[in-house]
Amino acid sequence: MFRNGMFALAALLATLSFSQGPPARRPGGPLPGIMPREAELFRLGQEDFMEVETEEDGLGPAFNGNSCSSCHAAPAVGGVTAMTEIRAGRREDNGSFTELRGGTLFHLFSNPEHGCQVEIPREANVIARRAPTPLFGAGLIEAIPDDIIASRADPNDTNRDGVRGRVSRVFDLAGKRERVGRFGWKAQQATLLAFAGDAYVNEMGITNDLFPADSARGLTAAQLAACGSTGAIEDKKDEHGLRGIDHFENFMKFLAPLPRGPVDQATQRGEALFESIGCSACHVPFLTTGPSNNPVFDRKPVPLYSDLLLHDVGTGDGIPQASAGPNELRTAPLWGLRSRKPLMHDGMSSTIDDAIRRHRREAGNAQQRYLSLSDDERNWLIAFLNSL
Ligand code: HEC
Ligand code: HEC
């Protein structure tokens, strides 16, 4: 009797979940449709991404966090946290920019804790904060061909709409050739492997094949040595034959975009306004991946709401980086917007409304049109953005 009851219950649950269609995708999960081998690489990568590193693993001497997930964690591993990190340098009277002591990143923490703390040099007169960017769907962004991004650039504003857009050309250390940058606030890296190497050394002080030298701005070579930097490569292959940077690449490559929120009449009206007032000139609703042997990356529309180009929207932080000028930033992708706070590169906007109001210069026309919307129209636009 009891057993029959259990069977009946199981059957009922099966019909229920069947009638409701496929289960909702969990934020932070892998791209649907990947092969079992890829799912395993994703899982191993996620484990390494979350691993807390210590001084024995090479953490430091200067660092900003002790695991990738210490800054990429909400609403699921791969997202963001509320931290910001510090970049600094010097703007000279003639307008040129000087990197102080070989770089612009100034670390928050040190190993040993009180012995090797980085100081922002006295000569610095530009200090900027940068919020983390989310990694959901990063593998799809990586699969967008260079020429698709480059084809939208209009550096001389030939169509006279005020919106320019410049390609970020960077040397990709992973593929050892020039590529179109697309990751980071300044579109400073083109591939996930190169970003992984950059983040491992710059956020955590763990040297690797792509970035073999410890970075600790403000410390001399002698101080670096005294603080435990040996000059050796700290990121080694593990029992799977993979380096840490390979694991991070695998996790980010197969990490699914966040599922989109519900669409209703208000969000649809908002989407039409987003187009008509000119937001989509930069926040391009989708770009398409190139041909690939892997079906999950093969000619897929990527609804990222960005052109991945550099623009001056009047919020620049004064720090030149890779191919980006001091006041240029990559159009922030807007997918997943409802799942992150704070907003903008400096983490200084607490609401979507405030982020839009801060747009100027190349985005000045769109911002003016936003300000002249009726209250209802503004609410629809924000409802649309909150559905991404
Ligand atoms: C201390 C905080 C912190 C840690 C630790 C950290 N990140 Fe980040 N991450 C950031 C910030 C801040 C940005 C934006 C940086 C910028 O563009 O200036 C970022 C951006 C990124 C991006 C660019 C995504 C995009 O589309 O713009 C990637 C990829 C990335 N991180 C990977 C990693 C990996 C892999 C690790 C571990 C090795 C890691 N991060 C560790 C703070 C962190
Ligand atoms: C000229 C290109 C351009 C136009 C036009 C433009 N944006 Fe942006 N947008 C950007 C850039 C670049 C950033 C990053 C700015 C920063 O972080 O300081 C950004 C950031 C944002 C953000 C914050 C995203 C985040 O992750 O923090 C939102 C929201 C946003 N834009 C919405 C809009 C809306 C709505 C419109 C139309 C009214 C618009 N944008 C028009 C280029 C543009």
Mind listing the pLDDT tens digit for each residue in 353-366?
999 999 999 999 99
Reply yes or no on whether the pLDDT at 4 is more than 90. Answer: no
| 81 contacts: CB under 8 Å, gap ≥ 6 | 70, 71, 72, 73, 74, 132
Residue 132 Cβ contacting ligand 1 at under 6 Å: yes
Pocket test for ligand 2, best of 161, 309, 313, 357 (most atoms within 8 A of CB): 313
**Nearest ligand to residue 247 Cα:** 1
Measured by CA distance, the residue closest to atom 32 of ligand 2 is 356
Reply yes or no on whether the pLDDT at 305 is more than 50. Answer: yes
* Residues in the ligand 2 pocket, defined by CB under 6 Å: 163, 277-279, 281-283, 311, 313, 315, 329, 331-332, 334, 343-345, 352, 355-356, 359, 362-363, 366-367, 370, 385
The dihedral built from the CA positions of residue 176, 180, 185 and 188, taken in this order, carries a sign that is: positive
Measured by CA distance, the residue closest to atom 30 of ligand 2 is 356
Residue 133 Cβ contacting ligand 1 at under 6 Å: yes
As a whole number of angstroms, the distance between CA 228 and CA 60 comes to 8
Ligand 1 atom at minimum distance from 251 CA: 35
Give tens-digit pLDDT for 181-230: 999 999 999 999 999 999 999 999 999 999 998 877 777 777 778 887 87
Confidence of residue 14 (pLDDT cuts 50, 70, 90): very low
* Polymer length in residues for the chain: 388
Give tens-digit pLDDT for 269-304: 999 999 999 999 999 999 999 999 999 999 999 999
Residue 71 Cβ contacting ligand 1 at under 6 Å: yes
Residue 251 Cβ contacting ligand 1 at under 6 Å: no
Cis preceding linkage at 295, omega within 30: no
As a whole number of angstroms, the distance between CA 128 and CA 130 comes to 7
CA 280 to chain centre: 20
Reply yes or no on whether the pLDDT at 88 is more than 60. Answer: yes
Ligand 2 atom at minimum distance from 330 CA: 12
Mean per-residue pLDDT, 340-351: 97
Cβ–Cβ < 8 Å for 102, 267: no
> What residue type is assigned to position 258 of the chain?
L
